[in-house]
């Protein structure tokens, strides 16, 4: 390929609205252009990288016996209604109506469609099955951000396994887990497997693969000592023991004028946050619900969703709260409340001599014993883990790491197969629902994650496995016929040796060409110039280290072969 003939519109300055390194460098390096928020055109260099990412994933999927398919991106509403996710997906699902009035959706994911296809299976002798695809997904993200990290249109490798029983699912899950470890290693992404919430996917167990990065929007709770790792939506910690006093025979009211916060109550009324019951009011699927937390603990919203299975969750409005409880936030409590669901965090189990709101403005209760005074209907782990808390496995302090989710694998079980009647006859001749797994990798997000981990102040530093080209031949003086001829000869030599090579033959200053080579991140640059040729040499520069060596033109292919492992 000739740089002079390729469309590589590099920029000299960072775009004003690009913050994440991958966003900034993909735009500056001429890899992509934005059409509108969350939608990007991938240009020739990006298409080459994307193809390599896909090929690495494809090789590892094929290696575990998965078969590639391609399913439609436009789905009838009825399919999603059967699974119950037409409503659960909410506003993030793109919906449309065709000219005949049929309601349709653009694919957010494909569990329903794969389960529907699996109804073609009829015997346990056809199992196990593993199917995968590379297909576009659409999500109406309210706030697309960070370039390719969160978009509204993206490519997903999603695969699905079908087994007769849970033992088969466990084996399929383990095969995918191992394949994902290999994939991310080959892509140059240091992905950490972490415990995760299954969210709207459902199922029992799930593991996310997280790439540590300041540009990430997920938080991983991590223990450096024992390597416990979990998404903050799933993580737990070991709490320090708390000793309660004997308390009172019955709760006692006391005035708390002007108290609105946990801190107000703690500083003015001898009620440390560890002895307070914080009462939050949410509307879950239309039902006003009290959510109880220890005063110094924060609620994790996804844990609340997972614990209740609610499809719709929102904080209650002040007028709804006053109508139900007779007071406003700051004086709310659950003592004596009946007729409303009450869910409490496990940190409150067995607690006594606690303080909480009295459901009268500017009044609180002391001497509250949770089991005696509050009709808790459900106990669950609802609190968000904080940095420095004790690891649940070894007791050492936990850290919080910002990260990008680059992969997620789920054990779905029979949720979707039962809905769509995807059954096979087992060895006993009885119809058995297929046991499913679901496994995803975002292709363009993986590209962004690679850059987040492989860049410097001059630009992208692609690993060889995914670089658009392995080497660029930079002709320092294109106007000089002898230099141009030598550059073209070296280009032909490297291409014949099997290297993916591009020649920068533009009529530009050498400095411009060097900057673009560094910006676009091509792993190796061979500079062909007058001075070097006079000595019978060219310069071979490694992008990652900046190391330059003088090499005879006839030895460049051998040197590159040693450096890239292709020798």
Q: How far is the C-alpha of 263 from the C-alpha of 259, rounded, in Å?
A: 9
At residue 417, the pLDDT reads 96
Indicate if the pLDDT at residue 311 is higher than 90: no
Nearest to 14 by CA among 3, 6, 25, 5: 25
Under 8 Å between Cβ of 526 and 552: no
Helix (H) or strand (E) holding 472: strand 471-475
At residue 200, the pLDDT reads 60
User: For the chain, how big is the Rg over CA atoms in Å?
Assistant: 29
| Confidence at 565, pLDDT banded by 50, 70, 90 | confident
Rounded to a whole number of angstroms, the distance between the first and last alpha carbons of the chain is 22
Indicate if the pLDDT at residue 198 is higher than 80: no
Three-state SS for 153?
A: strand
Three-state SS for 538?
A: strand
Q: How far is the C-alpha of 380 from the C-alpha of 249, rounded, in Å?
A: 27
Indicate if the pLDDT at residue 202 is higher than 90: no
The mean pLDDT of the chain is: 95
Please list the alpha-helical segments (H only) found in 89-127: 111-117
Q: pLDDT tens-digit profile of 119-160?
A: 999 999 999 999 999 999 999 999 899 999 999 999 999 999
Exposure string (b/e) for 330-367, b if CB count within 10 Å is 16 or more?
bbbbbbebeeebbbbbebbeebbebbbbbbbbbbbbbb
| Confidence at 203, pLDDT banded by 50, 70, 90 | low
Q: How far is the C-alpha of 27 from the C-alpha of 304, rounded, in Å?
A: 39
HSE-CB of 280 using CA atoms within 13 angstroms: 22
| Confidence at 204, pLDDT banded by 50, 70, 90 | low
Average pLDDT, integer, range 230-244:
93
HSE-CB of 188 using CA atoms within 13 angstroms: 19
Q: How far is the C-alpha of 496 from the C-alpha of 556, rounded, in Å?
A: 12
Describe the crossing of helices 44-63 and 166-187 by its angle, rounded to 10 degrees.
140
Exposure string (b/e) for 370-389, b if CB count within 10 Å is 16 or more?
beebbebeeeeebbbbeeeb
φ/ψ (deg, to 5) at 255: -75, 140
Strand 32-36 with 95-97, pairing: unpaired
Average pLDDT, integer, range 469-487:
95
Please list the alpha-helical segments (H only) found in 34-146: 44-63, 77-83, 85-88, 111-117
At residue 281, the pLDDT reads 97
Q: How far is the C-alpha of 525 from the C-alpha of 502, rounded, in Å?
A: 10
Q: pLDDT tens-digit profile of 11-45?
A: 999 888 888 999 999 999 999 999 999 999 999 99
At residue 197, the pLDDT reads 83
CA distances from 324 to 227, 231, 330, 362, 373 (A): 45, 35, 15, 17, 19
Describe the crossing of helices 44-63 and 443-453 by its angle, rounded to 10 degrees.
110
At residue 567, the pLDDT reads 56
Tokens of 531: 């001075």
At residue 17, the pLDDT reads 86
At residue 30, the pLDDT reads 97
At residue 275, the pLDDT reads 95
At residue 397, the pLDDT reads 97
Q: How far is the C-alpha of 306 from the C-alpha of 313, rounded, in Å?
A: 11
Q: pTM score > 0.75 for this model?
A: yes
Q: How far is the C-alpha of 281 from the C-alpha of 340, rounded, in Å?
A: 10
């Amino acid at each position: 390929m000739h740089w002079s003939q390729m469309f590589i519109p590099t920029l000299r300055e960072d775009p004003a609205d690009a913050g994440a390194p991958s966003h900034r460098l993909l735009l500056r390096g001429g890899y992509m252009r934005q059409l509108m928020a969350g939608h990007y055109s991938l240009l020739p260099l990006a298409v080459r990288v994307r193809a390599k990412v896909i090929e690495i994933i494809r090789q590892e999927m094929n290696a575990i016996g998965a078969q590639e398919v391609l399913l439609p991106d436009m789905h009838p509403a009825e399919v999603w209604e059967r699974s119950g996710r037409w409503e659960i997906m909410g506003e993030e699902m793109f919906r449309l109506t065709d000219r005949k009035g049929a309601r349709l959706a653009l694919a957010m994911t494909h569990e329903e469609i794969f389960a529907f296809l699996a109804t073609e299976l009829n015997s346990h002798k056809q199992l196990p099955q593993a199917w995968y695809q590379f297909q576009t997904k659409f999500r109406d993200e309210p706030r697309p951000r960070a370039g390719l990290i969160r978009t509204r249109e993206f490519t997903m490798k999603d695969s699905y396994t079908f087994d007769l029983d849970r033992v088969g699912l466990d084996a399929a899950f383990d095969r995918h887990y191992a394949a994902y470890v290999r994939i991310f290693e080959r892509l140059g992404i240091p992905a950490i497997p972490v415990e995760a919430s299954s969210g709207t996917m459902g199922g029992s167990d799930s593991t996310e693969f997280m790439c540590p990065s300041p540009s990430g929007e997920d938080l991983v709770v991590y223990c450096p000592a024992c390597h416990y790792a979990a998404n903050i939506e799933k993580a737990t910690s070991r709490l320090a023991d708390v000793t309660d006093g004997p308390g009172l025979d019955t709760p006692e009211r006391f005035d708390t004028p002007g108290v609105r916060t946990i801190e107000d109550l703690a500083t003015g009324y001898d009620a440390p946050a560890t002895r307070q019951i914080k009462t939050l009011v949410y509307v879950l699927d239309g039902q006003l619900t009290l959510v109880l937390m220890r005063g110094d603990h924060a609620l994790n919203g996804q844990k609340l969703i997972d614990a209740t299975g609610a499809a719709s969750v929102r904080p209650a409005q002040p007028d709804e709260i006053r109508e139900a409880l007779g007071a406003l936030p700051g004086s709310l409590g659950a003592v004596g409340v009946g007729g409303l669901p009450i869910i409490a965090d496990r940190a409150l189990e067995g607690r006594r001599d606690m303080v909480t709101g009295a459901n009268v403005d500017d009044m609180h209760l002391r001497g509250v014993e949770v089991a005696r005074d509050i009709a808790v209907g459900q106990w669950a782990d609802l609190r968000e883990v904080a940095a420095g808390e004790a690891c649940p496995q070894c007791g050492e302090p936990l850290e919080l790491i910002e990260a990008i989710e680059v992969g997620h694998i789920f054990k779905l079980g029979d949720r979707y197969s039962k809905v769509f009647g995807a059954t096979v006859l087992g060895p006993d001749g009885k119809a058995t629902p297929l046991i499913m797994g679901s496994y995803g990798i975002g292709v363009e997000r993986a590209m962004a994650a690679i850059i987040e981990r492989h860049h410097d102040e001059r630009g992208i530093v692609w690993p060889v496995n995914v670089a658009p080209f392995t080497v660029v031949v930079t002709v320092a003086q294109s106007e000089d016929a002898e230099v141009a001829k030598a550059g073209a000869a070296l280009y032909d030599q490297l291409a014949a040796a099997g290297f993916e090579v591009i020649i920068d033959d533009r009529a530009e200053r050498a400095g411009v060409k060097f900057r673009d080579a560094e910006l676009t991140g091509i792993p190796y640059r061979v500079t062909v110039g007058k001075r070097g040729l006079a000595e019978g040499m060219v310069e071979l520069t490694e992008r990652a280290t900046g190391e330059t060596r003088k090499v005879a033109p006839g030895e460049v292919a051998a040197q590159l072969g040693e450096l890239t492992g292709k020798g």
